[in-house]
Amino acid sequence: MSTYSQTLTSHGEILANIPGILGFYPQDSLVLAFFKRKEDSPQFSLSPLARLDLDDAVETLIANQNQFTAWSEQLGTDAVIAYVINADPSAADDLAEFLLSEDSPLPTVLAIVQVPELTSGTGWWTVYQQLSLSAPRSGVISEVTGSLTLQQMVLDTGQLPALSRDELEERLDSTSHGIDETEYRDILADVESYEKEIHFLRDDLRHEYEQATVGISDPTNTRAIRAGLMCFTSWLLRDPLLAALLEEPEAGLWFAESLMRAVPRDWPRMRSQVTAAVAVLAQATGQTGLACVAAQKATELSKTENFPSQVARCLDLGLGSKLLVSVYEGAVKARHILFDA
């Protein structure tokens, strides 16, 4: 779930803001925009967004009924608008019937809006709209590049939204580490040996931690990558490294992605851990779409890792800010206990 808060103005403006909120341009999707009613006002303010694949949106809503109910209760949402992104004029028919039925786990549906794609000037139309909602029933998408969320994303990250969710998944699946093959095999052998050893000398642990933090300013430094992977063999060093990465989140994200690309695909547990770290750092840099996709990817890589599961659950519930505070405070405490206590 991706979060952004602004006053509800029009469907055209909300649609224009979706790529900046999600971090990518959704296709063949159901985007659920949750709203809170303003105190002492008939107006609604936009709260979190959730995106589902359109083909199995009904099945997903039914299978995750308790989770959607928890979202609504946790975030205090009062209503939802469903945006169907698909060029088939009948794509929303069966979905609309379900969303307006008693079987739907969602709060009050204010409107169901369909649009072929999220590009500036593309026409949208309402499949359903409450009579009490005084909004046009058709129109065009506002200027996407001029949307507040896209401009904020560029300001915060220097990046534009990915053209699709697939583009983000390809980024997270990448193993293009750019390291000389002989050196890379040596790195993996060292990491495997390090994982099997028992490490208890504080100075030795500090040495690997400090070597890893070099990667924050030099993300392609192979000695830093070697040490960073060693840190991810155990929470004992992983958490102190997370503290350092979160203190410089933009640079930390670059290094975390360098580490992720260096983890072989047949090391699913470590790849899950590093991908979860990428999710946390993406959230810290305002890239909520990348954060959510990374968190989901991390849990798919390994169902048994606790840290990725916690990250995914917090992001699913729209608790990104609380996640950052919790991870950073815990990581700083772990670093203090390991090196200074």
Q: Same domain, yes or no, for 203 and 285?
A: yes
Whether the pLDDT of residue 4 is over 60: the answer is: no
Q: Same domain, yes or no, for 159 and 186?
A: no
| Model pLDDT, residue 22 | 86
- For residue 59, report the phi and psi dihedrals to the nearest 5 degrees: -60, -40
Q: Same domain, yes or no, for 157 and 287?
A: no
| Model pLDDT, residue 239 | 96
Buried b (16+ CB within 10 A) or exposed e, 259-285: bbbbbeeebbebbbbbbbbbbbbbbbb
d(CA 315, CA 313): 5
d(CA 21, CA 151): 11
Q: Same domain, yes or no, for 204 and 282?
A: yes
- Residue range 272-285: mean pLDDT, rounded: 95
* Residue that terminates a domain, selected from 138, 163, 188: 163
* Residue that terminates a domain, selected from 144, 163, 182: 163
The answer to whether the beta carbons of residues 59 and 89 sit under 8 Å apart is no
| Model pLDDT, residue 8 | 46
Q: Give the DSSP H/E element, type plus range, for residue 311.
A: helix 306-316
| Model pLDDT, residue 86 | 95
- Residue range 286-298: mean pLDDT, rounded: 90
User: What is the average pLDDT score of the chain?
Assistant: 88
The answer to whether the beta carbons of residues 273 and 311 sit under 8 Å apart is no
What pLDDT band is residue 200 in, cutting at 50, 70 and 90? low
Q: Same domain, yes or no, for 229 and 85?
A: no
CA dihedral sign, ordered 95, 99, 105, 106: positive
* Residue that terminates a domain, selected from 163, 193, 213: 163
Q: Same domain, yes or no, for 151 and 246?
A: no
The lowest-confidence range among 63-77, 96-110, 202-216 is 63-77
Q: Same domain, yes or no, for 183 and 154?
A: no
What pLDDT band is residue 221 in, cutting at 50, 70 and 90? very high
Residue range of the domain that includes 174 = 170-339
- Looking at the DSSP bridge assignments, the partners of residue 125 are 114, 138
Q: Same domain, yes or no, for 72 and 35?
A: yes
More confident residue, 84 or 64: 84
Number of domains in the chain: 2
Whether the pLDDT of residue 297 is over 90: the answer is: yes
More confident residue, 15 or 67: 15
- Residue range 295-302: mean pLDDT, rounded: 94
What pLDDT band is residue 199 in, cutting at 50, 70 and 90? low
Q: Same domain, yes or no, for 260 and 146?
A: no
- Residue range 15-34: mean pLDDT, rounded: 90
For 222-250, how does the pLDDT look when each residue is reduced to its tens digit (9 = 90+)?
999 999 999 999 888 999 999 999 999 99
